[in-house]
Structure 1
Amino acid sequence: MNLADKVLAVNDDLPIRTHDPIHSGKVRSVYWLTESDSRRLIKERGYDVAADAPLAIMVISDRISAFDCIWHGEGGMNGVPGKGAALNAISNHWFKLFREKGLADSHILEIPHPLVWIVQKAEPVMIEAICRQYITGSMWRSYLKGEREFCGIQLPDDLQKDQKLPELLITPSTKGIMTGLPGIPEADDVNISRADIENNYQAFNFRSLGDIDRYEVLLKEGFDVISNALASIDQIFVDTKFEFGYVTDSHGQRKLIYMDEVGTPDSSRIWDGPSYRNGEVVENSKESFRQLLLNHFPDPDILLNKDRMDERKALAQHNALPESVLMEVSKTYVSIAERITGETLHLPENPKAEIIQILRDEYALID
């Protein structure tokens, strides 16, 4: 079997029983189970959820996205070997640690395969909950242009690139396009302040004003847990994105939980500690791939300028990256996953066939 066959590039064509359209994102695909299958699994597997909670199978692919485009490689390599398994392994590790520390649950109920989660439906909070411990990336680019206020927070004048910030900053943005909210542009991924959230908390799907405090506590606690664990392997947790939502447990209690993935190289920047102390930034995250793309193409403005999105999509579609590039990304993801979990990462030989067999034989979700 060649390398390209080990990559799970297409993940929305599995024969999982569903009555709903399959939702396919940049990396994950979601299969909502039938009501009868959801009820059966809740009963059979003893999940701590309401008896009528909708469940889904979430399948992660090895696709790689950057600058809002999906990228591919030579020789039919439509993804990065081991990337999906690495992301799931890292998220699973942090979610387990969160539970052990008494933080909050996640939407994951079971992990039948390294590329698969069984999840419960959550009502999402419409916020990309971003927090930053260092000034870099988009925040540094804006700072360099003279901006000193971010999401209602005032920054001092004397900061240097990649410097540690005086405190952990919460710099949220909108998740999706919010309409009809005073002072908030109707566009995706718009920076917002805490005051914006308080003034429109119901539109952002918070149940109460008090839950804004709760989400900030979970955000800071989650960041600290991951940051401290990474520090123990001499890695620096630079910034990250969390997502939150509401679920109901088997006792009818509504609770705020973590959603999506946490602390992964896709949703975070992770720097190598020894290199940083020597004055060099070495990324153990997707940021290294972004930088590689910026250096690879002669006109990096295409990747940075949102007004050139058509050109950018054409660039991604018509340019196969060298296999060596994708293997370098693979090495970054697999290596950091193994360092975080302390275990060798299991890379599926034939991921699609394995997933189908497990979901058919052990969960009776495939006819």
Structure 2
Amino acid sequence: MSNLADAVLETHMNLPGQTAFYRGKVRDVYTVGEKLVMVASDRISAFDYVLPRPIPYKGQVLNQVATHFLQATADIVPNWLEAVPDPNVAVGAACEPFKVEMVIRGYLAGHAWREYKSGKRELCGVPMPEGMKESDRFPAPIITPATKAEEGHDEDISREEIIAQGIVSEADYIQLEQYTRALFQRGTEMAAKQGLLLVDTKYEFGKRDGKIYLIDEIHTPDSSRYYYAEGYDERQQQGERQKQLSKEFVREWLMSHGFQGKEGQIMPIMPDAFIEEVSARYIELYERITGLTFERTDTRGIEDRIERNVLAYLKKA
């Protein structure tokens, strides 16, 4: 296991030609000309809050999973990715992002289940059938978009509201829905080959020169939830919790320590043993969903390594 101190909480690069910098919940994004240099840090977020301690190898896992799936879906929709100069870094075309996240759900889980359990039978204007229980499969996947908040919580929004408010034009939104369903179908097929069920996920899109691109990450443990296919039916029949690969277990740990991101709640500090467990879970997820062996990079001086590799790439580009 990596030294717990050898993890990237933040980067502080000053790149040649840099015109902008944005720090998201997990990624540090540098704009250099018409390119984005996106560093996947080891930060972890839950309930729209960044937790105080980073998770070793998490950034590498996220970046390499996203790269794997971006390359595997490039025939469905063009995407922003151009190069991966470091295990934690992706470089690609800067796009003007749509201010919505396209969330698609194949099963009743997570936020959808919490809403359903509270008595709601509609999510983002989409009806949910009566008589469902947690982790049941929807008759067909449902798209439940969310507004992308600069800070704080993303908010559920309906297709009709998105179009009526002019957040996305109707023609573009129809295209986003088509891409979302096709990407989810591909992700479902790829997961099935690895003995997994893709439960729900989200996609982000942007525009460049009038063309829609898939941006950010896809099918990662930060943006997606997976169940193990083996034993799924038996667990459902017996009313047991599904065995899942996602960061839901981090949310559950926080909830068990009295934190759900609500006002007045104090965020608990994750102990070393739990940090190591989270790191191991992310590595397991990488290997399970890609079918590849995770190669731990040397994380000593990781911030210097990232900067060195980015500068070398930009010099050649």
TM-score, reference length from structure 2: 0.90
Secondary structure of the corresponding residue to residue 3 of structure 1: coil
- What amino acid does structure 1 have at the position aligned with 2:260? L
User: 2:119 matched to 1:146?
Assistant: yes
The correspondence of residues 288-307 of structure 1 with structure 2, limited to 5 A, is: 288-295=249-256, 297=257, 300=258, 302-303=259-260, 306=262
Q: Is the 8 A contact 1:239 1:268 kept in 2?
A: yes
Cα deviation per residue 1:185-231 (whole Å; 9 max; x = unaligned)? xx95222222222323xx3144xx22222111100000010111101
Q: Amino acid of the residue matched to residue 130 of structure 2?
A: D
Name the CA distance, whole Å, in 2 between partners of 1:205 and 1:211.
6
Q: Does residue 1:345 correspond to 2:299, yes or no?
A: no
Whole-Å separation in 1 of the counterparts to 2:175 and 2:123 = 21
Contact 1:98/1:222 (<8 A) preserved = yes
* Partner of residue 93, structure 1: 68
Partner SS, residue 357 of structure 1: helix
Relative to its length, the structure with more strand (as a share) is: 2
- Other-structure match for 1:221: 182
Unaligned runs of 5+ in 1: 39-53, 73-77, 178-186, 249-253
AA aligned opposite 1:331: A
Query: Which residue pairs with 1:197 in the alignment?
Result: 162
Using the TM superposition, give the Cα deviation of residue 293 of structure 1 relative to its aligned residue in structure 2, in angstroms. 1.6
Q: Distance in 2 between matches of 1:19 and 1:71?
A: 28
Q: Describe the shift of the 1:196–1:9 C-alpha distance in structure 2 as closer, same or farther (beyond 3 A).
A: same
Tell me the equivalent position of 1:29: 28
Match of 2:47 among 67, 72, 77: 67
- Alignment of 1:173 with 2:163, yes or no, is no
Secondary structure (helix, strand or coil) at the match of 1:225 reads: helix
SS at match of 2:155: coil
Query: 1:129 and 1:344 mapped to 2: Cα distance?
Result: 30
Q: What is the correspondence of 1:288-367 to structure 2 with a 5 Å cutoff?
A: 288-295=249-256, 297=257, 300=258, 302-303=259-260, 306=262, 308=263, 311-312=264-265, 315-316=266-267, 319-349=268-298, 350=300, 351-364=302-315
Structure 2's unaligned 5+ residue stretches are: 236-240
| Superposition CA RMSD, Å | 2.1
Aligned to 1:57: 37
TM-score (normalizing by structure 1)? 0.78
CA deviations 1:20-70 (Å, max 9, x no partner) are 45211111111111xxxx4xxxxxxxxxxxxxxx11211110111112222
| Equivalent residues of 1:114, 1:346 under 8 A apart | no
- SS at structure 2 position matched to 1:4: coil
How far did residue 2 of structure 1 move?
A: 6.3
